[in-house]
A and B are shown apart, each in its own frame.
Chain A
Amino acid sequence: MTPIGMLFQGFLSVLQPINLIYVIGGVVVGMVLGAIPGLTATMAIALVIPLTYYLTPTQSLIMLLAAYNAGTFGGSISAILIGTPGTPAAAATVADGHALARMGKPGKAIKTALFSSAFGCLFSSIILILIAQPIAKYALKFGPAEYSVLMLFSLSIIASAAGKSMAKGLIGGCIGLIFGCVGMDPSYTIPRLTFGVLKLSSGIDLVVMLIGALALGEILSQVESVASGNTSAQLPPMKTKDDKSFTRTDLKSTILHWFRSSAIGCAIGALPGLGPALACYIGYDVGKRRSKHPEKFGKGSVEGVACAEAANNAVCGANMIPLLSLGVPGDTGAALLIGAFMVQGLTPGPLVFRESPETVYNVYAGLIICNLALILVTLLTWRIFTKICSLETTIIYPCVLMFCVVGVFALNSSLTDVWIMLFFGVLGYLLKKFKFPIAPLLIGFILSPLFEKNFRRALILSNGNWGVFFSSPLCWIFWAITALSVFYILRSKRKDKNLTDGM
């Protein structure tokens, strides 16, 4: 049967009521867990997998994928409504999303995030279905040297995200880089910077740090306004129809961003080892540079939300590219899916096309349908979330704090993680107070281990020959992109300086 035929069969089987129930169930579970700060989509998958023993392969896989996709979107709900990201993937959505909510437009923000996320995942799913094989083969050409140069490019994003004060932004980046070094040395299995604490020898978890610095830090800042006697709901009500909906004008301004960010998300998802958190920052940054209104980014720009959300959900579909064609997961979420496959007796990788092609096409269909389910569920329920978040601040903040504590604890059943979160909470609060941008901190933290381990591995494998970083065409391409990126940053800084000097 031709691929189109099989895909059609896939749709037919996924659209059966019983399977649809699992898709919708997955969407609901994922969205709720994603929206709660402290619980993540990956965690949802990890905990649901044992429950899928008794389901058919199709049912378990589409449910898990729906949960993963919905979870990545769900993080943006709390990012928008409370200012704290529910999952690392929503970190870049906080600035613009919450600003929009404060302007009385939470509906618009949520819907933008929703449609962007759905678009991102649909885009990457279609790419997955059409050209998974060649992309996967291509992704294999990325060795340690290529990854290192790619990371170098990503590090330049820190400079771009620094905003007004380059020095402050770069210092933030350095702080993040140093914290990323905590843990085991990438090559010699000796602990680094762990101060004797055993838990730290496996490093600081991104979620713990993110919830601490962004969520807790944000809450502590907002607590200040509570002290000033501000106990009423802090989101102005939505007045006009425009505030609640995603209009044609919005669509016009975001559609290009959607394509661009989804492509970026696809590229990052297809490369094993990166993840949605990195994708959202890169998507946001590139979108900002190419937008006609870059000054609005960070202050309530619909385009900003669109870029970040399209990129991070594109990773969901793109994760499956290396998973299905090579058996290599794109990030932790996909790695857990390997477990789900194995429990059902299937082996992810090229074999699965021979062993059980119907399952593969059902998964494809499931990926596409779960986006529609996500749109449906969200459009029906988003007002509930808004109502919950407009309770009095005296009630909301303690609840969110409790959720953060329990969520971080539940990750690894570890109170040490909660202490680490508190530490980063204080750090995030102080950084906010002194107007340091937080994004460089997070980007530095994500990139530090990625860059260092690939850099050192490249040197070890080439026996100390630095030429390895120039040895392949891919390396050259990334060097060129990095140079361009730095050039543009310097040029825009000079432009800003000329503007202020001229005043």
Chain B
Amino acid sequence: MANPENGVNGLSIKEGKAEIGLGIFFTIMGIVFLAIIIPTQIKYVEGAYPQPRFFPDLISALTVVLGISLFIQGYRKNKANKENQETYTFKWHETRLVLITLGIIIAYVASMYFVPYLPATVVATGVLVTVYGQRKIWKIILTALLVPGIIYVGMTYGLMIRLP
């Protein structure tokens, strides 16, 4: 398992502290749901029993209670013995790759509103394979051409689904 590395190389949070933070987060989310999101998103229907809002309200209230409980749990852990706890680490160079992957996929999906499927996928596949560290050019090109090609042929002629 990774050693906790603070500061430059990443972020690591002890379980107790994490639970405090998460507890607060969920309590606030629950309240936001109850107060803002549910009333604006769900109409109030005359004479309805039970209300369309009933179930979501119930769940949000439950979330608030659980958020508080998680907060208390984290608070206790924080005060108590710190050695038996787990640590959540976010190493920067790992997280960076995750964010890059997400960025590429978001750009790829957005591009499919303008560009047909095949070129977009070829490019996206190529970029991803490269970014993950593949160095051999022929492998990059082969994958980038072969996989989208198979998908395209399989979808359009095999399953008869129209791709963008």
Establish whether A and B are touching in the complex (CB under 8 Å): yes
Residues of A within 8 A of B (CB): 47, 165, 167-168, 170-171, 174-175, 177-178, 181, 185, 187-188, 190, 192-195, 220, 223-229, 231, 392-395, 397-399, 401-403, 405-406, 409-410, 413, 415, 418-419, 422, 425-426, 429, 433-435, 448, 452, 456, 459-460, 464
Task: Indicate whether B82 reaches chain A with its CB closer than 8 angstroms.
Answer: no
By a CB distance below 8 angstroms, the chain A residues around B16 are: none
Q: List 21 A-B contacts (CB under 8 A).
A: A170-B66, A174-B63, A181-B56, A185-B42, A190-B43, A193-B42, A223-B97, A223-B132, A224-B97, A231-B132, A395-B129, A398-B143, A398-B147, A401-B101, A402-B151, A405-B109, A418-B109, A422-B102, A422-B109, A433-B90, A448-B55
Set B42, B60, B128, B163: member contacting A192, Cβ < 8 A: B42
Give A344 Cβ to nearest chain B Cβ, in Å: 21
Contact status B98-A220, CB under 8 Å: yes
Set B42, B98, B132, B163: member contacting A394, Cβ < 8 A: B132
A171 CA / B59 CA spacing, docked (Å): 10
Give B50 Cβ to nearest chain A Cβ, in Å: 6
Residues of B within 8 A of A (CB): 18, 22, 26, 33, 37-38, 41-43, 45, 48-50, 52, 55-56, 59-60, 62-63, 66-67, 69-70, 73, 86, 88, 90-91, 93-98, 101-102, 105-106, 108-109, 112-113, 117, 121, 124-125, 128-129, 132-134, 139, 143, 147-148, 151, 155, 159-164
Contact status B163-A190, CB under 8 Å: no
Instruction: Give B112's nearest chain A residue, CB to CB.
Output: A415
A228 CA / B96 CA spacing, docked (Å): 11
By a CB distance below 8 angstroms, the chain A residues around B151 are: 402-403, 406
Contact status B70-A171, CB under 8 Å: yes
Give A20 Cβ to nearest chain B Cβ, in Å: 22
Give B63 Cβ to nearest chain A Cβ, in Å: 5
Chief secondary structure at chain A's binding surface: helix
Instruction: Give A186's nearest chain B residue, CB to CB.
Output: B52
Contact status B55-A181, CB under 8 Å: yes
Give B123 Cβ to nearest chain A Cβ, in Å: 11
Contact status B128-A224, CB under 8 Å: no
By a CB distance below 8 angstroms, the chain A residues around B134 are: 231, 392, 394-395
Q: Using known A-B contacts A190-B42, A193-B37, determine if residue A398 contacts B109 with beta carbons closer than 8 Å.
A: no
Set B38, B50, B101: member contacting A220, Cβ < 8 A: B101
Give B157 Cβ to nearest chain A Cβ, in Å: 12
Q: Of residues B48, B96, B132, B139, which shows the largest number of chain A Cβ atoms within 10 Å of its Cβ?
A: B132
Contact status B63-A402, CB under 8 Å: no
Give A452 Cβ to nearest chain B Cβ, in Å: 5
Q: Using known A-B contacts A227-B93, A395-B129, determine if residue A406 contacts B112 with beta carbons closer than 8 Å.
A: no
Instruction: Give A459's nearest chain B residue, CB to CB.
Output: B50
Contact status B94-A394, CB under 8 Å: no
A223 CA / B103 CA spacing, docked (Å): 14
A159 CA / B26 CA spacing, docked (Å): 18
Give A297 Cβ to nearest chain B Cβ, in Å: 20
Contact status A415-B94, CB under 8 Å: no
Contact status A434-B56, CB under 8 Å: no
A452 CA / B51 CA spacing, docked (Å): 11
By a CB distance below 8 angstroms, the chain A residues around B161 are: 47, 410, 413
Instruction: Give A226's nearest chain B residue, CB to CB.
Output: B132
A170 CA / B70 CA spacing, docked (Å): 10
By a CB distance below 8 angstroms, the chain B residues around A402 are: 121, 124-125, 147-148, 151
Give B57 Cβ to nearest chain A Cβ, in Å: 10
Contact status B105-A405, CB under 8 Å: yes
By a CB distance below 8 angstroms, the chain B residues around A190 are: 42-43, 45, 52
